[in-house]
Amino acid sequence: MFTQFFGNYLLQRQLVSPEHLSEVLRAMKTTRPQLGVLAINAGLMTAVQVEKAHKEQLHADKRIGDVMVDMGYISRENVESLLKTQPAGHLVLGQALVNSGYMTTAQFEQALNAYKTENHISEADFGSESDVSAQRLVRNFYNFNSINGSGYMTGYVSLLFKNLIRFIGSDFTPMDAHALMGALSDCAAQRIDGGLRAITIIDADASSMIEFASRFTNKQLVAEDDYTHACISNFINIHNGLFAENMSGSSGIKLNLEPQRFYERFDISELGNACVIPVCFSFGTVNFIVAI
C-alpha cells in the first residue's frame, strides 16, 4: 500500500503526470531496480554518487557494482547484499520512472525521502504494512473528518487497498477522493447494516470491469456479461465480509451483509454523503463508492 500511495504523492506534487504514471505502471512488470536505486534507498549512496559511478562506467570495462566499490562509495559486501534483496514495489516504480525519462535519479531520491519524512514512513513499513501504519497513511491522504463515521471509513478504505493488492494486483494508484456526481449505471453494490449502516459500490467502464473480473478469477474474460458482473459482485462481497470480520474482532460490532447485486441503474438518492475513491490501475480506472 505504501508503494501505491507513493504514486499518489508524485501526482499531488506534480512530479509526474497521470498519463506518465499510467505508462510506468504498465512497464513495472518488466522492470527491475538497478543497483544505484537500491543503494540510494538503503542510504548507502546519494544520487550524485550514483550518477558519477555511471559516468565512470562509460570509460571502464567493469560492472557498475565494481565501479562503485573502486570509487569507495560502497563495500563489496554491500553490493552482494543489495543484489540479493527482493526489490520493493516503490523501487520498481522509481526505476520505471527513471528508465522512461520522467524522473532523474536525483529527483527520485528527493521525492522518496520527502514521501517517507512527510508521512512518517520507515523502510520497514514498506515490507510489513501493519494495520496501524496503513490506516495512518490513509488518514494522511484522505480527509474523512467531515464524514460521519470517519474512523470506519479509514478502516474500510485501508482494508480495501490491501485486498486489491491481494486479489487484483499491485499496479494501481489511489486517486484523490471526491463527492458523487451524476447517475450510476452498470455497477455492483452491497448494503451493510447492523452496528453500522453503509452502501458500497464498484463502478467502472466495460473494459476495466472485464479486466478487473479477469484478474479476480484468474481467467481471461472477453465480454461484459452476467459472469463478469457476478465476479465483480463477488469481490465486493468478499471484501465486505472481511471488513465485517475485522469490525467484529476489533470493536465487537456485528455487521450484516445484504446479498450483493449488479445494477443496470442505481438510485443515488440514498447516497447522500457518498465518497468516491477512484483507483487508477494500469488497465483503467475503477471507482469505489462508499456511503456511511
pLDDT tens, per residue, the chain with 292 residues: 888 899 999 998 999 998 999 899 888 888 888 899 989 988 899 999 999 999 999 888 889 999 999 999 999 999 999 888 777 788 889 899 999 999 999 999 999 999 989 888 877 777 666 677 788 888 888 878 777 778 888 999 999 999 999 999 988 999 989 888 878 889 999 999 998 889 999 999 999 999 999 999 999 999 999 999 999 999 999 999 999 999 998 888 999 999 999 999 888 877 777 889 999 998 999 999 998 8
Q: What does the pLDDT read at residue 263? A: 92
Q: What does the pLDDT read at residue 130? A: 67
The whole-angstrom separation of Cα 175 and Cα 212 is 17
Q: What does the pLDDT read at residue 249? A: 87
Q: How far is residue 285 from each of residues 37, 50, 178, 180, 205, measured CA to CA in Å?
A: 29, 36, 14, 15, 8
Contacts of residues 225-229 at CB distance under 8 Å and 24 or more positions apart, as own/partner, are: 229/188, 229/262
The whole-angstrom separation of Cα 27 and Cα 99 is 10
Structural contact between residues 286 and 270, judged by C-beta atoms closer than 8 angstroms: no
Among residues 140, 182, 149, 194, the alpha carbon closest in space to that of 291 is found at 149
Buried b (16+ CB within 10 A) or exposed e, 76-87: eebbeebeeeeb
Kindly give, in sequence order, each residue whose CB lies less than 8 Å from that of residue 133, ignoring residues fewer than 6 positions away: 2, 121, 125
Structural contact between residues 75 and 65, judged by C-beta atoms closer than 8 angstroms: no
Phi, psi of 46 (to 5 degrees): -100, 165
Rounded to the nearest angstrom, the gap between the alpha carbon of residue 35 and the centroid of all alpha carbons in its chain is 24
pLDDT tens readout for residues 128-146: 666 777 888 888 888 787 7
Q: How far is residue 217 from each of residues 167, 210, 233, 243, measured CA to CA in Å?
A: 9, 11, 12, 21
pLDDT > 70: percent of the chain: 98
Rounded to the nearest angstrom, the gap between the alpha carbon of residue 180 and the centroid of all alpha carbons in its chain is 22
Q: Counting runs of H as helices and runs of E as strands, what totals does the chain give?
A: 13, 8
Q: What does the pLDDT read at residue 230? A: 95
Q: What does the pLDDT read at residue 127? A: 64
Phi, psi of 283 (to 5 degrees): -100, -5
**Residue 2, C-alpha cell as written in the block:** 505504501
At 7, is the secondary structure helix, strand, or coil? helix
What are the sequence ranges of the domains in the chain? 2-128, 142-291
**Residue 180, C-alpha cell as written in the block:** 458523487
Q: What does the pLDDT read at residue 144? A: 81
| Mean of the per-residue pLDDT values of the chain | 89
Q: Which CATH number fits domain 142-291: 3.40.1550.10, 3.30.465.10, 3.30.420.40, 2.40.160.20?
A: 3.40.1550.10
